[in-house]
C-alpha cells in the first residue's frame, strides 16, 4: 500500500487538494469520520471558515481524534483556515475556533480584509526552487508571531510599511500556508509536504 494522505473533507477546496496530492505522488483519502482519519499517514486541512470547521469537527466526532493524531506526530498541512486550526493561538483570541497547537505560531484571522480584498501574488520561496510561487489569498490570515522552532518560508510586503507578513511556515512535519496553493496548477507545496511527511 502506498503513502496515504488524508484530506479533511468538511469544507473548502477538498477535491483540489486531493488532486494536487495525487499529482505529487500520494494516494488521497477523503476524511469525514474518525475511522478514515485513523487510516491515513498524513493529513491536509483545507481552507474554509475556521469557526465553521471547528463546529463541523465536533459534529463529525473528529475534533478529539484529530488532536490525538497531531499530538502523536502525524504530519499535517494546513492552508488558510487549516493554518488557523493548526496554530497555537489566534490574536485576538476567539473561543469559537479550535487551535490544535501543532505549530508554534499565533495568527490573525481575515488579516488581509474581507472577500472583496482577495488578491493573488507571486511569492519568492527558496524551499520550492528559483521559480516564484503564485499564491491566492481569500480572506486570508497571517502569522503575527512565530516561535523559535518555526521556519518562515514566505512573506508578503506590508501595505502599512511595517515588517513583511509571514504567510507560509513549517515546523517539524507541519506545513502551513495563509493562501490556497490548491487553487493553482503548482503542486510544489504538496510535493514539499509529502517529502516532509515521509521523512
Active site residue 190: no
Q: Which three cell numbers stand for residue 70?
A: 497531531
Identify whether 17 is a catalytic site residue.
Answer: no
91 Cβ partners below 8 Å, 6+ apart?
A: 106, 107, 108, 144, 145
Q: One of 17, 36, 182, 190 is an active-site residue; which one?
A: 182
How far apart are the C-alpha atoms of 6 and 28, rounded to whole Å? 6
Residue 50 annotated as lining a ligand binding site? yes
Please state at what angle helix 63-71 crosses helix 50-59, rounded to 10 degrees: 100
CA pair distance 57, 49, nearest whole angstrom: 12
Category of 198 on φ-ψ map: left (φ > 0), alpha (ψ -120 to 50) or beta: alpha
Is 139 a known ligand-binding residue?
yes
Catalytic option among 16, 17, 80, 190:
80
- The annotation status of 48 as a binding-site residue, yes or no, is yes
> Of residues 16, 17, 36, 180, which has the active-site annotation?
180
Contact status, residue 99 vs residue 84, Cβ threshold 8 Å: yes
* Helices within the chain (DSSP H only): 14-23, 34-38, 50-59, 63-71, 81-86, 188-198
Centroid of chain to Cα 148? 19
49 labeled part of a ligand binding site:
yes
Catalytic site residue 19?
no
Binding site per annotation, positions: 48-50, 109, 138-139
Residues catalogued as catalytic? 80, 180, 182
Binding site per annotation, positions for L-glutamine: 48-50, 109, 138-139
Amino acid at each position: 500500500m502506498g503513502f496515504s494522505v488524508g484530506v479533511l473533507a468538511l469544507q473548502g477546496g477538498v477535491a483540489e487538494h486531493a488532486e494536487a496530492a495525487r499529482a505529487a505522488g500520494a494516494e488521497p483519502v477523503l476524511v469525514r469520520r474518525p475511522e478514515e482519519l485513523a487510516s491515513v499517514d498524513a493529513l491536509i486541512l483545507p481552507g474554509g471558515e475556521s469557526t465553521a470547521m471547528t463546529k463541523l469537527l465536533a459534529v463529525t466526532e473528529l475534533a478529539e481524534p484529530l488532536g490525538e493524531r497531531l499530538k502523536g506526530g502525524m504530519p499535517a498541512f494546513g492552508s488558510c483556515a487549516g493554518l488557523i486550526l493548526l496554530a497555537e493561538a489566534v490574536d485576538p483570541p476567539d473561543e469559537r475556533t479550535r487551535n490544535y497547537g501543532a505549530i508554534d505560531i499565533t495568527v490573525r484571522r481575515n488579516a488581509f480584509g474581507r472577500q472583496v480584498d482577495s488578491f493573488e501574488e507571486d511569492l519568492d520561496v527558496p524551499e520550492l526552487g528559483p521559480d516564484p510561487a503564485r499564491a491566492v489569498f481569500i480572506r486570508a490570515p497571517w502569522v503575527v508571531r512565530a516561535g523559535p522552532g518555526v521556519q518562515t518560508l514566505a512573506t508578503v510586503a506590508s501595505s502599512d510599511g511595517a515588517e513583511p507578513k509571514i504567510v507560509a511556515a513549517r515546523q517539524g512535519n507541519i506545513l502551513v500556508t495563509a493562501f490556497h496553493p490548491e487553487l493553482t496548477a503548482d503542486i510544489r507545496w504538496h510535493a514539499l509536504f509529502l517529502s516532509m511527511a515521509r521523512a
